[in-house]
Structure 1
Amino acid sequence: MTPTLFRRGLLLATAAIALTPVRAAPIRPLANDYIALAESPDPQGMPLYTPSILRLDGGRLVAAYERGGTGRANNAAYAFILTSDDHGRTWTQRGALRMTHARLFTAGKSVYYLGQKGDLQIARSDDRGETWSGQVALTQGQSWHQSACNVWHANGHVYLVMERRVGKDNKAWPVGSLAPVLLRAREDADLTQATNWTFASELVFADLIPGYRQNQPELEYFGVPFFPQAFPDRHPVATSPKRRTNSPMGWLETNVVQITDPNHLWFDPAGRTFHLFMRAHTAGTGYAALAKVVEHADGSMTTQLERAPSGKTLLFLPMPGGQMRFHVCYDATTKLYWLLSSQATDSMTRPDRLPPERYDLPNNERHRLVLHFSKNMVDWCFAGAVAITASPKEARHYASMDIDGDDLVILSRSGDARAKSAHDGNLITFHRVRDFRGLVY
Structure 2
Amino acid sequence: MKPADTWSCRPYRQLDDELDFPLTVCRLAPGRDTIELEWLDETSRQAGREYEVRYKPAGVDCCAAVKVSGNKTVLGGLLPDTDYEVLVAAGCQTSRTRLARTGFVPGTVVNYLHPADTAYQFSGRYLCSPSLVKLPDGALLASMDVYASKAPQNLTLIFRSEDNGASWHYLTDLFPCFWGKLFVHQGDVYMLAMSTEYGDLLIGRSTDGGRTFCKPEVLFRGSCSYAEKGPHKAPMPVTAHAGRLWTAVDYGAWSMGGHASCLLSIDENEDLMKAENWALTKPLAYNPDWEGAVKGPSRGLLEGSAVVSPAGDIINFLGYRTNDCIPDRDRAVMLKGDTDNPENKLAFHKIVDFCGNRAKFSVLRDEVSGLYFSVVNRLQGANTRGMRNIVSLSASPDLEHWRIVCDLLDYSSADPAKVAFQYVDFIFDGEDLLFLSRTAFNNAASFHDSNYCTFHKVADFRRLAMPGR
TM-score (norm 1): 0.71
- Residue 134 of structure 1 aligns with an amino acid whose one-letter code is K
- The alpha carbon displacement at 1:70 in A equals 9.8
Is the Cα–Cα contact under 8 Å of residues 353 and 402 in structure 2 kept in the other structure? no
Post-superposition offset of 1:54 = 0.8
- 1:63 shift after superposition: 1.1
1:233 corresponds in structure 2 to none
What's the CA shift string for 1:93-123, capped at 9, x where partnerless? 2231222111111222211111112110111
How far has the Cα of 1:438 moved from its partner?
Answer: 1.4
Q: Deviations over 1:356-409 (max 9, x none)?
A: xxxxxx422111111011110121232221112223121011100001111111
Of the three residues 287, 308, 327, the one matched with 2:331 is 287
Q: 2:213 maps to what in 1? A: 132
User: 1:160 maps to what in 2?
Assistant: 247
Query: Paired residue for 2:21?
Result: none
The superposition leaves residues 59-115 of structure 1 with CA deviations (integer Å, 9 ceiling, x where unpaired) of 211111001139967xx9620122211111222222312221111112222111111
Retained in 2: the 8 A contact 1:184–1:198? yes
Percentage identity across aligned positions? 26
Matches within 5 A, 1:33-432: 33-43=106-116, 46-69=125-148, 78-97=155-174, 98-117=176-195, 118-142=199-223, 143-165=230-252, 171=255, 174-175=257-258, 178-205=259-286, 208-209=287-288, 224-225=295-296, 229=297, 248-260=298-310, 267-268=311-312, 273-283=313-323, 284-296=328-340, 300-306=343-349, 314=350, 316-346=351-381, 348-349=382-383, 362-389=384-411, 390-392=414-416, 393-432=418-457
Structure 1 contact 55–403 (Cα < 8 Å) conserved: no
Secondary structure, in 3 states, of the residue corresponding to 2:337? strand
DSSP-derived class of the 2:165 partner = coil
SS at match of 2:276: helix
User: Tell me, which stretches of 5 or more residues in structure 2 are unaligned?
Assistant: 1-104, 118-123, 224-229
Q: 1:221 offset after TM fit, Å? A: 8.5
Please identify the structure whose Cα radius of gyration is greater: 1
Q: 1:327 to 1:111 in 2, by over 3 A?
A: same
Per-residue deviation, residues 263-317 of structure 1 (Å, max 9, x unmatched): xxxx14xxxx211111110111101122111122x654331111xxxxxxx3x32
CA distance in 2, matches of 1:42, 1:148: 23
Give the direction of change, closer, same or farther, for the CA distance of 1:171–1:77 in structure 2 (3 Å limit).
closer
RMSD: 2.5
- Give the structure 2 partner of residue 15 of structure 1: none
Is the alpha carbon distance of 1:363 and 1:72 closer, same or farther for their aligned partners in structure 2, counting shifts above 3 Å? closer
TM-superposed CA distance for 1:195, in Å, is 0.8
What secondary structure does 1:391 align onto?
coil
Q: Would you say how many aligned residue pairs link Structure 1 and Structure 2?
A: 339
Counterpart Cα distance in 2 of 1:317 and 1:336: 16
CA contact (8 A) 2:352 2:401 kept: no
Q: Distance in 2 between matches of 1:37 and 1:300?
A: 38
Which position in structure 2 is the counterpart of 1:27? none
SS of residue matched to 1:295: coil
Change in CA separation of 1:396 and 1:152 when aligned onto 2, cut-off 3 Å: same
Q: In the alignment, residue 429 of structure 2 is paired with which amino acid?
A: D
- Unaligned residue ranges in structure 1 (runs of 5+): 1-31, 210-217, 230-247, 261-266, 307-313, 350-361
Comparing both structures, which one devotes a greater share of its residues to strand?
2
Higher helix share: 1
CA shift at 1:159, angstroms? 0.8
Measure the CA separation in 1 of the matches of 2:387 and 2:208. Answer: 39
Tell me the CA shift for residue 139 of structure 1: 1.5
